[in-house]
Amino acid sequence: MGFDLSVLDEEKICPKCRERMSCCEAPPIHVGDGLGWGSEILFICLNDACPTFLNGWDQIERKYGHHASYRYMELPGSKEGNFMMVGNSDAFKACVINRDTLKEQNERFAREKEAVEGLKTCLEEKNIDPVMTLLLDEAANVNARKTAITYLIQLNDTACIDPLRNHKFRDTAFEHEINVAIKAILKANFKKECPYCMEIIKAQAKKCLHCKEDL
Ligand SMILES: [Zn+2]
Ligand SMILES: [Zn+2]
C-alpha cells in the first residue's frame, strides 16, 4: 500500500458519539462513484450506538424510501465530516486496518532496506550486522539473503553461529545453505561444534570443554 505513513499515528474521535473512529481501507471505486475519496484510508465511526448510525435508518427511509443508514466518516488529516451510506451494521467492519501490524510491517521493511544497503559495504567494514539482519528475517528478499550467505562466509565470524542455530528457518534448502556456511566458518577458524552440547570447541579437541563428553 502506498499511502502516507503518518496516517498510522493519526487518532480521530467521532464528534457525534465521542468514540474512537476506525481506520478503514477505502472501498474500491466503482463506475459512477466519480473520483472516489482521493484517499486509500478513511476514518469511519463504526460504533453501532453512534447517533448518526442510529438515526440514519429513519432519515433514509423517509427521504429515499429504502433500508439503509449512515456512518460518520473523515478523511485522514481533515476534520470535515462526511456520511457514508451503509446497508447494514457490518458494512466496513471487514475493512478495518490493523495499524499495529501495518506499522510492524513498515518497520521490518525499513530494516530490510537498510540492511540491503549495508551489504554493499559490509565486507570492507567487516560489519556482520546487515548480513545477520537479512539472514534472520524470513520476510526479506530471497536474493539479498543468498548474497548475505556468501558474505557470511567471507566475514568468517563465529559470533554468527549461535543466533543462526537458534533461528527457525522456514525454507529447508536455505537452512541447508546456512549449515554449509557454518561448517565453512568453523573450519576456517579451526573449530567444531560439540555433537553433544553444540558449544563451539577446538577442531582437534578430544574432550568437550563444556559438557566434558569424550569425542
Ligand atoms: Zn460516532
Ligand atoms: Zn560438549
List the domain boundaries for the chain: 5-95, 118-202
How far does the centroid of ligand 1 lie from the alpha carbon of residue 38, in Å?
A: 22
The alpha carbon of residue 118 and the mean position of all alpha carbons in its chain are separated, in whole angstroms, by: 20
Shortest CA distance to 7 belongs to which of 29, 40, 45?
40
Q: What's the rounded Cα separation, in Å, for the pair 45 and 71?
A: 6
Reported as a pLDDT band with limits 50, 70 and 90, residue 1 is very low
How far does the centroid of ligand 2 lie from the alpha carbon of residue 212, in Å?
A: 6
Q: Nearest ligand, CA of residue 15?
A: 1
Greater confidence (23 vs 36) lies with: 23
How far does the centroid of ligand 2 lie from the alpha carbon of residue 200, in Å?
A: 8
155-205 pLDDT, tens digit per residue, is 999 999 999 999 999 999 999 999 999 999 999 999 999 999 999 999 999
How far does the centroid of ligand 2 lie from the alpha carbon of residue 50, in Å?
A: 65
Q: Which residues pair with 200 in a beta bridge?
A: 193
* Identity of the amino acid at 54: L
The alpha carbon of residue 55 and the mean position of all alpha carbons in its chain are separated, in whole angstroms, by: 39
Reported as a pLDDT band with limits 50, 70 and 90, residue 8 is confident
pLDDT of the residue at 29 = 64
How far does the centroid of ligand 2 lie from the alpha carbon of residue 188, in Å?
A: 20
